[in-house]
Amino acid sequence: MTMPLGLDEERIAALASHLIRFETTTPERINACADYCADWLEQGGVNVKVYENQGLKSVVASVGSGLPVIVLNGHLDVVPGEPDDFAPRVENGRLYGRGSYDMLGAVASMMVLMTELAKDVPDCTVKLALVPDEESGGERGTGFLVEQGEVGDIAICGEPTDLNIALQAKGILQLVVEATGVAAHGSRPWLGKNAILEALRHYEKIASMRIFEESTPYFERPSLNLAKIQAGTVFNQVPDRCTFGVDIRYLPGQKADDLLRMIRQALPDAEIKVHFHGYPVDTTAEHKLVRKLQAIAGTSFFGQDGSADTRFYALHGIPAVEFGPAGAHHHGPGEYADIPSLGRYKQILKQFIKQAKDDMHEIQG
């Protein structure tokens, strides 16, 4: 028998459902959602500031004053889906819909929390950053806000973690590698040099590097994905050029510069360009505020294989963690958020905020 939802959970689920219907996959729809969130928070008594950067809006809402400054971060953009994915529904305590788990359920919990804090003001500062662009890299959203000084003593990104806490995240190094060959007639391939085969040899050299066998307490190994390949124009010609893209997720403690240098040394005949780089996250479990959050949540620390907006805070020395509600199937069919966990998530954050002042005194003392 399904347990009935509480009023708090129903309110969060209703707000999250409304956010899902915005279908925030384009700048126009993301901005419309940001405007709605700003208005909703202002009506709830929360101070709101709206930023715009490169055509995309971010919302920073704040309550309270003094230290510590706690930043809650949630992204409004979602990955594309089928039309039915943006028609949310509630079944058996689950909210189904694109972005319910990643991460509009967490956003709704945070928004409801901010209106509660506006009525019962904490003796610290709480900022809620609602951002675009996380699914596309984050530079135009959280990256921009951090540059504007919208930072704090800890940052909590509400990514889907099933109420566990991600202390670490792998770095990103995406490379474009070009292999060259010699063109020839397709019926006489021995007269040429096939660039596709050369590219495959290049990839095998990269994959065999010992750095991809290293591990840490949170990660079994780095990851290497052959993501793209482009070569050839016709069947009856040996291709003389082949370009492929690799997506490397390297471990905290490893250095992208060292990795790139080793790959270039292993492939002296290839042209190698950096397509994208994102730093890893390596937040210590010993930080007082991080320990407090873990004690209240009563869950585990772990390392996140993917990347999130935590990296922008970590780059500035700010302890940053991923911590969000439970659910499943983000970026895929049948995505859902567990509604009771949305209420639990809000309560954990509220208790953490109420107790954070004591830990800040210890940090400063």
Q: Which residue ranges form the domains of the chain, and what is each CATH number?
A: 7-169+280-364 (3.40.630.10), 171-278 (3.30.70.360)
* Segment 321-325 mean pLDDT: 98
- The residue assigned the tokens 């490397």 is 248
Amino acid at the residue 229: I
What confidence category does residue 163 fall into, taking pLDDT thresholds of 50, 70 and 90?
very high
Report whether pLDDT(65) > 60.
yes
Strands 301-304, 165-169: pairing kind: parallel
Cross-strand partners of 69: 125
- Residue 75 near residue 133, CB atoms below 8 Å: yes
Do β-strands 94-96 and 241-250 pair in parallel, antiparallel, or remain unpaired? unpaired
3-state helix, strand, coil in the chain (%, to 5): 40, 30, 35
For 347, counting Cβ atoms within 10 Å of its Cβ (0-12 exposed, 13-18 middle, 19+ buried), the class is middle
Q: What is the DSSP letter of 167?
A: E
Per-residue pLDDT at 151 exceeds 90: yes
Q: How far apart are CA 126 and CA 70, in angstroms?
A: 5
Q: Is 96 helix (H, G, I), strand (E, B) or coil?
A: strand
Q: Among 53, 226, 207, which residue's Cα sits nearest to residue 137?
A: 53
What would the pLDDT profile of 265-317 be if each residue is shown by its tens digit? 999 999 999 999 999 999 999 999 999 999 999 999 999 999 999 999 999 99
User: Radius of gyration of the chain from Cα atoms?
Assistant: 23
Res 348: pLDDT: 98
Helix or strand run (H / E) with residue 59: strand 56-64
Alpha carbons within 13 angstroms on the beta-carbon side of residue 194 total 14
Would the pLDDT of 2 be above 60? no
Reduce the DSSP state of residue 206 to 3 states and report it: helix
pLDDT at residue 71 above 70?
yes
Mean per-residue pLDDT of the chain: 95
* 221 within 8 A of 177, measured Cβ to Cβ: no
> Going by DSSP bridges, is the β-strand pair 94-96/336-338 parallel, antiparallel, or unpaired?
antiparallel
The amino acid at 281 = V
Average pLDDT over residues 34-55: 98
What is the signed CA dihedral for 316, 317, 321, 322, rounded to 10 degrees? Answer: 20
Q: Evaluate if residue 365 carries a pLDDT over 50.
A: no
CA distance 30 to 164: 28
